[in-house]
Amino acid sequence: MDDSLSSTIMAVDERLTHATVTWLDPSAALGGGHAGAADSGDGRTPRDGTATDDEDAYLVAAMASAALAAAEARAGFGDGMSLNDRKVTVDGAATEAAEKILGRAPFRIRVAAGEGERDDSPGAHTGQWLGLPDEGSPVIDGVFDYVDGTELAATDQPGALALGGFGSGVRPVPDLQAYAALAPTHALRGLDIMARPEDGVVPLLERIAAAVGKSPDELTVSTHSLASKPMHRTLIDLMRGRVRQVLVPERVTVEPPYLLSLAGLSEPRIDSMIGAIGLSELAFAAGLVDLVAPELGFVFRLASVTGPRAEPGLTSLDALFKFSEDEEVALRAGGWRKDRQYTSEDLVRPGTSRAATLFAVTDNPALGLRGPEPRGGDVAHVEGFLVKPAARIGSIRLSYRR
């Protein structure tokens, strides 16, 4: 166990009664993680550009607090409350809880990617500043999704997570989407993501298969849920006819469990991820891959939020590339272009991710995490992971007095 980090986390939030950080053996197989990976350094100064104990503690405490607040928000739902109002309530509670802690951080945090700005919903917003207001203090880039899978949290279904990451090379993104594919970094520049997705997915799969040393029919690919919109249906059908397995989330797409299969924390292990993803989620995903599998990365093109909303019945991804005037303005303001493709390097500089955390808002069977709930007396428990460079992963369990 890491007693130093545990003590630092405890000092951040006075509600905590116990904190356990157990580093997992990175060589252990799925389900057989073993404690005892040695910690290095004194925890107070950066090690090869990774986060300090103080940074880790604030990130962990903030996102765990968000998970607990989101879970407890359900107790305040009234009869007849609409799903949208429930989602806003959950997001609002998580945002308030996380930013109460991040706002006290003894360093400056520039939010480079966050959720909710376009819909004026609670959440972290790109360009927001948190932490120490002293302009002379070191600046850390933050990527936050205080509740990824808000609908799951609002309806008490498995899979919702509170996500946060720190880095030093994250390019700020507007609250839009991307069409993206995960592949080995050496192959990214040779992939064509600009073709119409349904026309280009077969050659895309062939190139990815060649890059990972497999045939297309040996690939396992994760993609987007059909439950929110049917626009992925044709793409999924095309992939199913070419690869061994397409992993389609049942309700809402939450990407980190699939990506953590690369570190042995879930199964099956994916070879690629192909489909639409929010830009903030992609920023977190790119940072997470930089930590656990830097030999992989994303190739992507920018995509619209309003286009699919205007044509919800489409069974193709065509509407992804129909941008509104407001979206065009947001792209230009950030120096992004809709007529070119990008890679992870354009979003997160390689080797600059410092830490990532994820905590269960509801039960997460894929990662073996329980959502917050009272388990005896007035104590609530929150479970999650802290991910550091070189796939160094700590299992976190925090206990809160209610």
Asked if 23 and 75 count as a contact pair (C-beta separation under 8 A), the reply is no
Please determine, for residue 31, whether its predicted confidence score (pLDDT) is greater than 60.
no
Distance in angstroms (rounded) separating the CA atoms of residues 18 and 375: 14
| Residues 341 and 394 placed together within one structural domain of the fold | no
| Residues 306 and 358 placed together within one structural domain of the fold | no
* pLDDT tens-digit readout, 229-262: 899 999 999 999 999 999 999 889 999 999 999 9
| Residues 148 and 30 placed together within one structural domain of the fold | yes
Residue 30: per-residue pLDDT: 39
| Residues 323 and 198 placed together within one structural domain of the fold | yes
Q: Which pair of structure tokens corresponds to residue 273?
A: 């991820």
What CATH number does residue 336 fall under? 3.40.190.90
Q: Given 302, 323, 346, which residue is the final one in a domain?
A: 346
* pLDDT tens-digit readout, 36-70: 333 333 333 333 456 688 999 999 999 999 999 99
| Residues 320 and 368 placed together within one structural domain of the fold | no
The number of domains in the chain is: 2
| Residues 339 and 267 placed together within one structural domain of the fold | yes
Residue 357 DSSP code = E
| Residues 34 and 70 placed together within one structural domain of the fold | yes
DSSP 326-349: HHHHHHHHTT--TTS-EEGGGTB-
For the chain, the farthest-separated pair of C-alpha atoms sits apart, in whole angstroms, at 58
Read off the pLDDT of each residue in 361-383 and give the average, rounded to a whole number: 89
* pLDDT tens-digit readout, 284-309: 999 999 999 999 999 999 999 999 99
Residue 47: per-residue pLDDT: 37
| Residues 249 and 338 placed together within one structural domain of the fold | yes
Residue 44: per-residue pLDDT: 32
| Residues 222 and 301 placed together within one structural domain of the fold | yes
The DSSP element (H or E) to which 62 belongs, if any, is helix 53-73
Read off the pLDDT of each residue in 133-156 and give the average, rounded to a whole number: 92
* pLDDT tens-digit readout, 260-289: 999 999 999 999 999 999 999 999 999 999
Please determine, for residue 146, whether its predicted confidence score (pLDDT) is greater than 80.
yes
* pLDDT tens-digit readout, 97-129: 999 999 999 999 999 998 766 567 799 999 999
| Residues 23 and 89 placed together within one structural domain of the fold | yes
| Residues 35 and 142 placed together within one structural domain of the fold | yes
Q: Which domain holds residue 372?
A: 3-170+353-401
Please tell me the pTM assigned to this model.
0.93
| Residues 278 and 391 placed together within one structural domain of the fold | no
